[in-house]
Structure 1
Amino acid sequence: MDVSMKNTLMETLGIEVVEAAPDKVILKMPVDERTHQPMGYLHGGATVALAESAASIAGFLNINPKTHQVFGIEINANHIKSIQTGYVYGTAEPFHIGKRTMVWEIKIADEKNDLISISRCTVGVVPLKNS
């Protein structure tokens, strides 16, 4: 993948790419002071940021970046379990890969593979102005 994470939200939250393929993206995020809410648990917003990042990277791997770009246009999340420490992994897999939209399911799990959150993200595929 030819995209830098430097100076991005992903860098701020400590998100790392574990696996990146057109049909599956796995990201890893620490559960620490960067991703906690005030009571010391993983912030739901950080979880959603992880989910949308995984879907966006997966979408990017399914386009020609010389002619198109992808943008998240809708995301939902159901938070199942709380966590205070360790790492969570976001795994994005496709429901639909189309010419103008994609729909990705993202499961967020802890290091024991317990489900923390589940999301669905719709990604728009937008032609670049100069293509």
Structure 2
Amino acid sequence: MAWARERGMGALAERMGIEFVEFSVERSVATMPVEGNTQPVGLLHGGAYVVLGESLGSMAANLWAGPGRLAVGVDINATHTASATHGVVTGVCTPIHLGRTLTVHEIVVTNEDGRRCSTVRITNVIKDAPPA
């Protein structure tokens, strides 16, 4: 968790109110408010689910990559199966594959009632970080 706090989540995740609750290679959890992240009809915007998923998956991949390495997203997809209209949603990120040069994570996003609203999958490529 300290690694994630030191690194930061980036301006977009912060603007959307994403907060880490748990952070490790095996499992990462974050929450995001519905308010302020909705589409015109009051539902959580589909893109907001994707931002939550990418924030979790990319951060977890970078933790796995280790010092001197950088994980960058190359593919992301999301399937929305329900809608959140109030409160917060919670994303739980778990690895599907942790390799030397490739990671794949699944992020399950649920509403306050525990109902799955979206399933996000992200693939990251791991490469050497550019020189400082």
TM-score (norm 1): 0.92
In structure 1, the partner of 2:74 is 73
Q: 2:61 aligns with which of 55, 59, 62?
A: 59
Q: 1:46 aligns with which of 48, 54, 57?
A: 48
1:30 correspondence with 2:15: no
In structure 2, the partner of 1:83 is 84
In structure 1, the partner of 2:23 is 20
Which structure's residues are more often helix, by fraction?
Answer: 2
Identity among equivalent pairs (%): 36
What are the ranges of 5 or more consecutive residues in structure 2 without an aligned counterpart? none
Which structure's residues are more often strand, by fraction?
Answer: 1
Secondary structure in 2 matching 1:113: coil
Secondary structure in 2 matching 1:53: helix
- Aligned-pair CA distance for 1:4: 2.2
- How far apart are the structure 2 equivalents of 1:97 and 1:105? 12
In structure 2, the partner of 1:4 is 8
Q: Deviations over 1:31-79 (max 9, x none)?
A: 00x21011111000001000011101111221223x1111111101000
- How far apart are the structure 2 equivalents of 1:9 and 1:130? 25
Secondary structure in 1 matching 2:7: coil
- How far apart are the structure 1 equivalents of 2:124 and 2:28? 14
Q: Deviations over 1:94-123 (max 9, x none)?
A: 110011110001100112211000011101
Secondary structure in 1 matching 2:121: strand
Q: What letter matches 1:4 in structure 2?
A: G
Q: CA RMSD in A?
A: 1.4
- How far apart are the structure 2 equivalents of 1:62 and 1:50? 19
Q: What letter matches 1:115 in structure 2?
A: R
